[in-house]
Chain A
Amino acid sequence: MPELRLTETPAIVRAPVERGGTRLVAVGESGVLTLVLRRGDPQRLAQEIGAALDCDLPAVGGSTDATGGARLLRPAAERAHLVTPGSSVPSAAEGETFYGIDQSDYWSCLNLSGPLSRACLERLWKPDLGDAAFPPGAVARSALGPVAAVLCRLRPAAYLLLVPRSYAQAGFDELETSLAWV
């Protein structure tokens, strides 16, 4: 019996789409470590996160840079996602106040950037995308049309979206259509 090895299939294989200087990209490889944050001592939580991941714990609805080009998103009080370039995530991510689950296979990442990016999102995203309510660095959890998603505004005209793997194609389709129609 020859040795069997399992190869990977990416969640989504779609070429980038561009229009009007705006680009939609399905990120091929990225790691997502989901952090469950326990209620209790917020200071101790921040300390433990800092020690484990070498980054600040953002406020709810915010995000911070982490080492190695990663970004820590905090869409809810009890939830954060460390998004890393490349598919590996820190393994020793656990403390008294939090624990981590490697969800690199659960989430797919989409990048949307350019002058039409907000107009694209407006066609699908119910919460306020305005500068005051959703400034660069902000994170929110809602739905992209029919697709549940986590949205992070990386820069004024650049966004990162996390969508569940089985919805990745649908999420890309919706954004692609919006980009063609705005």
Chain B
Amino acid sequence: MTQHHRIGGGLVDRSQSLSFTFNGRTMQGHPGDTLASALLANGVRLVGRSFKYHRPRGMFSAGPEEPNALVTLGEGARTEPNTRATMAELFNGLQAASQNHRGPLGFDLMAATDLLAPFLGAGFYYKTFMWPRAFWERVYEPLIRRAAGLGALSGQDDPGLYDKGYRHCDVLVIGAGPAGMAAALAAGRAGARVILADEDFRPGGRLLAEWHEIDGQPGADWAAAAWAELDGMEHVRLMPRCTVFGVYDHGICGAVELTAPDTPEDRPRQVMWRIYARRTVLCAGATERSLVFPGNDRPGVMLAGAVQAYANRWAVAAGRNIAVLANHDGGADLAEELRAAGLSVAAVVEAHNGQGVAATRGRLGLRGVTLGDGRRLDCDCLAVSGGWSPNIHLTCHLDSRPVWCDDIQAFVPGSVLPEGMRVAGAANGAFSLPDCLAEGQAAGRAAAEAAGHPAAAPVHRASGIAHAPAPVWRTGPEKGRAWVDLQNDVTAKDIALARREGFGAVEHLKRYTTLGMATDQGKTSNLPGLALLAGATGRSIPETGTTRYRPPYTPVSIGAFAGRERGRHFRPVRHTPAHDWAARLGASFTESGLWLRAEWFARPGETGWRDSVDREARQTRAAVGICDVSTLGKIDIRGRDALSFVDFVFCNGFASLPVGKVRYGLMLREDGLVMDDGTTARLGEHHFLMTTTTANAGPVYRHLEFVRQCLQPHWDVHLVPETDGWAQFSVAGPKSRALLSRLVDAPFDISNAGFPFMACAELTVCGGTRARLFRISFSGELAYEIAVPARYGNALGAALMEAGADLGVLAYGVEALDVMRVEKGHPSGNELNGQTGPVHLGMDRMASRRKDYVGRARLGISHVDGAEDVQLVGVRPVREGDTLWNGAHFLEPGAAATLEADQGWMSSVTHSPALGHAVGLAFIRNGAARIGERLRAVDLVRGSDVEVEIVPPHFLDPEGERLHA
């Protein structure tokens, strides 16, 4: 195909040709074309099929409001469905295909649906697909799913790259038409930091489509010169191809920037920006409306402004013999322009003077119209204008409402606007060029001055008038299908039907008919639909009101919202300071929050994780094991009131803790339930080191800062997070002291007398490396934790292994750690899950009744409904070979598995290598008083029902002899 419909003039670069394909046929275009303009230039009018009736459809507009020309770009994994051809910038090699048809585009088998139109009116699905019920999921749903939608995804991972970013400015100008340019020039020349964003790849807005002069130059030239001037200002950032899609609180706007089509594939194709603007000037222009008349959906029926834009900007004849239908005097002006471009004008139909179009003909493309007076005209294009609607959407995203303006028969921004926003130009209902320029200039100046940059007041010279539309929304007879929403195939009859069926409120109309609910969001159809509804209900349009505007203004890809946060960027991975050591030792790693932690260290010959874990637990209890516990939170607390602070944040007493000792602390939330537990060491008179669980390092720190700053602001206490600064190992087992004695530098006394249970100290190890030592135990064995600055983490692990080789030292992971703590009966995350208090954990006596602390007021009061009286106990299977399952619930023998009969649940389970059978920790109603009782542990998901005995939770060494060895 050659470009038979290309005419003279325009703003495309004819010196270069671009090759593209549509439905497999190769065609040519030029830089500056959109896919739509290039298709029209090649004489392609049919580009798709409508949603419901599969009617032939062609280009309707030239901009983002396009309801018909939705195509699929690309192929394979790079397929991009539902792309507006009017917004797709042409590039060499572009591949496009039409959507929503079975068989060729010109012979869509699904077009038979159109014959069923009388049965497929608004809301038909509420009245059909009822019977038989068995067909719902097996027949109706698959059929409807296949029929629904327009384009189709590839089903493959999207290889495209996306990113996000943040920009700040004094003045954000949205729209680079005449008003926006004037605003940006005024603000930029005043020295304000300006961002000028426009969704188009070429600035100028309607200046590119219409014949105007500004300051003695053609409008398009003036726009280019203004753009160049702005580009030369260091404090001005230009963002073409950037759609501001939403306005949010505090002057923040969301925008999506498309990169140029020739951007390499290893760069993002879209960037989502969060723009923080002190002031915003909305110059988003206006969108033309159509008129409602029978047969108004044929390929060739287009918005008049689009016909004008194709002719003037893209040098494309939308038709060779064009009729014009308008409800204002602008139709005559357009006709004059088209004749000057060498096109034939069949007629100018003035709807504001009682004329109209009663019918159209031409199935795959317009061939003619029948006028209201019965005359038949031949034409291949009908340019329709029902007036212009200001693009007020962004003004309403924060719930303000637009107001009706009779003068232009449109809604304009209301008096309450988002913080810092002004509206100028056509978006404000000012349709003449001089008014656009003046408003833009004033708004830009005001915005700059509000941001502290006094601005001059240049005047742009231009002339032009606006044509006020008559309140005519419909022409032609009521008989015959007249489309209102082209994309969702909503007709005037649907609106009348909705009204008859009681859906007379505009929000109900929208949802019942789906008017305005397609990807074009009703940009060309909402107002005609409102007008018809108003007429049907005997109300005015302002009385009828509008639906609520919400972001995004135009569709935004999910990829843009995700940005780079996929794959390795989905979330950061944190390595402990001893990670390399563990990896060299063959650790299997698991995710613990963002951390990677060694879960076990498999040895040759072991057939599964149980072999490794059981070995690690057994050998640790028999000799000595080391475990990297660096991920536990560490918070340095100092100050003259540090002791009072620590005593205030824990429910148990710390006031008597001497220097050089560690104490277990239970930290409550303000509701009296447990937030976290850990040990706190008193390293000095006014110096403490608090540990937290891994998962709660951040939340506990935030909580402590809240206590410090808000609850006790007069105290001298300061917090410094130290988690990342130290590598820490647990050294556990009967030979742990022997092992550590080989590392600690003299004269440190690590004997039981010199360093008893729950002692702490700062010392040096390995010939002078500073360290901290804590004698604490999570495993129940004689145990210590040794910490060195993080840079020595790998080396410490290696040193412990080397020093303990003859003692039988081994490394153990978090699985063995968990086995040992369950055997010992220590609660952990499963038990401290935010739903339990001290009384449930059997720690009620720990919670002081004498001092004030966080959570004291609600102590013993807050609980989870249905779990008021549960208490932590141990359980063991009556038959030693039985398996216990975490999450199992307990029932009395013979009881039915009902909520009412539920006695509690299993919170932690392990196989105990020490005991040779499974053990569990459980929350059982009045558990402490039921030791020795037998219940059933029932897991309906896994089909398990095991008889268990309630026992004390400390399965090993309940007297703690090993701890104090």
Binding site for B on A (CB under 8 A): 1, 3-11, 34, 36, 38, 78, 99, 101, 103-107, 122-130, 132-133, 145-147, 164-167, 169-171, 173-174, 177-178, 180-181
Question: How many Å lie between the Cα of A125 and that of B580 in the bound state?
Answer: 30
B161, B164, B267, B789: which has the most chain A beta carbons within 10 Å?
Answer: B789
Question: How many Å lie between the Cα of A130 and that of B169 in the bound state?
Answer: 8
Extra contacts besides A103-B720, A180-B267, A181-B268 (15): CB < 8 Å: A3-B767, A4-B767, A4-B803, A6-B765, A6-B792, A11-B790, A78-B718, A106-B722, A122-B165, A124-B165, A128-B168, A129-B168, A165-B790, A166-B575, A166-B723
Distance to closest chain A CB from B639 (angstroms) = 8
CB pair B720 A169 closer than 8 Å? no
Residues of A within 8 A of B166 (CB): 122-123, 125-127
Question: How many Å lie between the Cα of A103 and that of B722 in the bound state?
Answer: 8
In the complex with contacts A4-B767, A9-B791, A146-B572 CB distance below 8 A: yes
CB pair A34 B163 closer than 8 Å? no
B176-233 CB contacts (< 8 Å) to partner A: 193
Distance to closest chain B CB from A148 (angstroms) = 9
Name the residue on B nearest A101 (C-beta): B720
Q: Which of A130, A147, A169 contacts B575 (CB 8 A)?
A: A169
Q: Which of A5, A122, A124, A130 contacts B193 (CB 8 A)?
A: A130
Question: How many Å lie between the Cα of A167 and that of B698 in the bound state?
Answer: 14
CB pair A7 B792 closer than 8 Å? yes
B787-832 CB contacts (< 8 Å) to partner A: 788-796, 799, 802-803
Residues of B within 8 A of A11 (CB): 790-791
CB pair B564 A177 closer than 8 Å? yes
In the complex with contacts A5-B767, A9-B580, A167-B574, A99-B638 CB distance below 8 A: yes
B636 contacts the other chain (Cβ, under 8 Å)? yes
- Can you name 16 A-B residue pairings with CB atoms under 8 Å? A1-B742, A1-B803, A4-B799, A5-B766, A6-B769, A8-B792, A9-B793, A10-B791, A11-B791, A101-B636, A101-B722, A103-B720, A105-B726, A106-B725, A122-B166, A133-B168
Q: Count of B residues near A, CB < 8 Å?
A: 55
CB pair A177 B726 closer than 8 Å? no
CB pair B795 A170 closer than 8 Å? no
B567-588 CB contacts (< 8 Å) to partner A: 568-569, 571-577, 580
Question: How many Å lie between the Cα of A127 and that of B276 in the bound state?
Answer: 9
CB pair B720 A34 closer than 8 Å? yes
CB pair A169 B716 closer than 8 Å? no
In the complex with contacts A5-B767, A146-B571, A165-B724, A105-B276 CB distance below 8 A: no
Question: How many Å lie between the Cα of A6 and that of B788 in the bound state?
Answer: 10
In the complex with contacts A101-B636, A101-B720, A122-B166, A181-B267 CB distance below 8 A: yes
In the complex with contacts A36-B720, A146-B571, A6-B165 CB distance below 8 A: no
B168, B792, B795: which has the most chain A beta carbons within 10 Å?
Answer: B168
CB pair A166 B795 closer than 8 Å? no
Residues of A within 8 A of B769 (CB): 5-6
B743 contacts the other chain (Cβ, under 8 Å)? yes
Residues of A within 8 A of B595 (CB): 166
Question: 5 closest Cβ contacts across the A-B interface?
Answer: A170-B572, A106-B725, A166-B574, A6-B795, A128-B168
Residues of A within 8 A of B789 (CB): 104-105
Distance to closest chain A CB from B116 (angstroms) = 50
Residues of B within 8 A of A177 (CB): 564, 569
Question: How many Å lie between the Cα of A16 and that of B573 in the bound state?
Answer: 20
Question: How many Å lie between the Cα of A132 and that of B577 in the bound state?
Answer: 39
Q: Could you mark each residue 248-290 of chain B with 1 if its beta carbon is under 8 Å from any beta carbon of chain A, else 0?
A: 0000000000000000001110010010100000000000000
Binding site for A on B (CB under 8 A): 161, 163-168, 193, 266-268, 271, 274, 276, 564, 568-569, 571-577, 580, 595, 636, 638, 716, 718, 720-726, 742-743, 765-767, 769, 788-796, 799, 802-803
CB pair A36 B164 closer than 8 Å? no
Distance to closest chain A CB from B234 (angstroms) = 9
Residues of B within 8 A of A128 (CB): 168, 276
Question: How many Å lie between the Cα of A103 and that of B796 in the bound state?
Answer: 19
Question: How many Å lie between the Cα of A105 and that of B726 in the bound state?
Answer: 7
Name the residue on B nearest A34 (C-beta): B720
Name the residue on A nearest B572 (C-beta): A170
Residues of A within 8 A of B274 (CB): 126
In the complex with contacts A6-B792, A9-B794, A105-B726, A36-B569 CB distance below 8 A: no
Q: Which of A34, A122, A166, A169 contacts B724 (CB 8 A)?
A: A166
Residues of B within 8 A of A107 (CB): 724
Residues of B within 8 A of A146 (CB): 571-572
Question: How many Å lie between the Cα of A7 and that of B594 in the bound state?
Answer: 26
In the complex with contacts A9-B794, A36-B638, A106-B722, A4-B802 CB distance below 8 A: yes
CB pair A6 B577 closer than 8 Å? no
Question: How many Å lie between the Cα of A1 and that of B804 in the bound state?
Answer: 10
Distance to closest chain B CB from A10 (angstroms) = 7
Name the residue on B nearest A180 (C-beta): B266
In the complex with contacts A1-B742, A166-B595, A7-B790 CB distance below 8 A: no
Residues of B within 8 A of A126 (CB): 166, 274
Residues of A within 8 A of B575 (CB): 166, 169
Question: How many Å lie between the Cα of A167 and that of B574 in the bound state?
Answer: 6
Question: How many Å lie between the Cα of A67 and that of B794 in the bound state?
Answer: 33
Question: How many Å lie between the Cα of A144 and that of B267 in the bound state?
Answer: 20
Distance to closest chain A CB from B280 (angstroms) = 16
Distance to closest chain B CB from A103 (angstroms) = 6
CB pair B167 A122 closer than 8 Å? yes
Residues of A within 8 A of B564 (CB): 177
Name the residue on A nearest B267 (C-beta): A181
Name the residue on A nearest B790 (C-beta): A105
CB pair A8 B795 closer than 8 Å? yes
CB pair A105 B802 closer than 8 Å? no
Name the residue on A nearest B193 (C-beta): A130
Distance to closest chain B CB from A115 (angstroms) = 13
Residues of B within 8 A of A147 (CB): 572
Question: How many Å lie between the Cα of A19 and that of B636 in the bound state?
Answer: 40
Question: How many Å lie between the Cα of A123 and that of B162 in the bound state?
Answer: 11
Residues of A within 8 A of B571 (CB): 146
Name the residue on A nearest B771 (C-beta): A6
Distance to closest chain B CB from A81 (angstroms) = 11
Question: How many Å lie between the Cα of A38 and that of B576 in the bound state?
Answer: 32
CB pair B572 A105 closer than 8 Å? no
Question: How many Å lie between the Cα of A177 and that of B162 in the bound state?
Answer: 11
Residues of A within 8 A of B724 (CB): 105-107, 164-167
Q: Which of B163, B726, B742, B802 contacts A181 (CB 8 A)?
A: B163
Distance to closest chain A CB from B857 (angstroms) = 28
